[in-house]
Amino acid sequence: MIPADLAPGDAKCAGLDWTGYELHRIRDAHSPAFGVAFGALWAEFGAKNEMETAEVLERRLRWDPAHLHQGCALLYELLLVTRDGAFVGVRDHTAIVRPGFGLAVVHMSHNLVAPAHRRSGIAGWLRALPAQTARACLAAQQRDAPHPIALVGEMEPADPSDEPRMIRLTAYEKAGYRKVDPAAIRYLQPDFRPPDEIDADGIARPLPLDLMVRLVGDEARATLPANAVRGIAESLYRMYAVEFRPQDMESVWRNLDSFPRGDTPIRLVPPTL
């Protein structure tokens, strides 16, 4: 555990007593821990079409960051926390290092903590550990010198009528995440539905979401240049393009073309706005 990786709003998590907890870094889909971790994620996100299949995650676990996929070094990690053998929390994420782009991006896919362990500090650590994955990916590309890291999530827009959503957004806001101003940039997540379902519908339907960004060590930053935001989105799309069909990515690539370019500052605003 590296306390310096904790977001400013999660600093109190450094005092968490890890006695009795176990952190499993799952690197093999045949591990019993994989079944526990994936089962918990699928139960929460699968029916909402917000979760890839087990087969997709198995392939991601085999990604070798020493080699490029879609022009990127990719390192996927699935983390499971247990206590005395019982489920505590799970998260998965992918570090993306793209030659020619100055940020190491970590796509923060899913994060789930059992109700009994919320507000314990576990969630804060699960938001911080992906920074280590970024450094491991950089090292695999022999770029392990100090390098800016952006932890990036795709989240639903704020909706005061949706209390669970606002609780999640408030937690990320307190932790130091900011939202790319949706008035300046309209981000789309690719359609997560199975290909046969997309084909039956006749078209891929990407999902409008907000980009949440934590710049590790630079959380107070109020803007990002347009090219940096564009590069973050492109990194995510290149990661998705390894698994998604080209025809299902067409609409998000077209949308990326509409992003502003250059050094134009794009505001980073509170996620709850």
| β-bridge partners, 262 | none
* pLDDT score of 68: 95
What residue ranges define each of the domains in the chain, with the CATH number in brackets?
20-269 (3.40.630.30)
Among candidate residues 204, 168, 207, 203, the one with its CA nearest the CA of residue 186? 207
Q: Which amino acid is at 191?
A: D
pTM above 0.85, yes or no: yes
Minimal CA–CA distance to 5: which of 89, 90, 116, 131?
131
Question: Two tokens at 70?
Answer: 């879609």
Quick one: pLDDT at residue 49? 75
User: Roughly how many angstroms between the first and final C-alpha of the chain, as a whole number?
Assistant: 32
CA 102 to chain centre: 18
Report how far residue 191's alpha carbon sits from residue 206's, in angstroms, rounded to the nearest whole number. 5
Q: How far is CA 200 from the centre of its chain?
A: 29
SS3 for the chain is: CCHHHCCHHHHHHHHCCCCCEEEEEECCCCCHHHHHHHHHHHHHHHHHCCCCCHHHHHHHHCCCCCCEECCEEEEEEEEEEEECCEEEEEEEEEEEECCCCCCEEEEEEEEEECHHHCCCCHHHHHHHCHHHHHHHHHHHCCCCCCCCEEEEEEECCCCCCCHHHHHHHHHHHHHCCEEECCCCCCEEECCCCCHHHHHHHCCCCCEEEEEEEEECCCCCCCEEEHHHHHHHHHHHHHHHHCCCCHHHHHHHHHHHHCCCCCCCEEEEECCCC
pLDDT mean by block of 10 residues, the chain; 273 residues: 90 90 91 93 85 89 94 96 94 95 94 90 93 94 83 94 92 90 96 92 94 94 96 97 95 96 96 93
- The pLDDT value recorded for residue 223 is 97
Cα(224)–Cα(222) distance, rounded to whole angstroms? 7
Q: Quote the pLDDT of residue 145.
A: 65
Q: What pLDDT shows up at residue 144?
A: 65
Q: What pLDDT shows up at residue 268?
A: 97
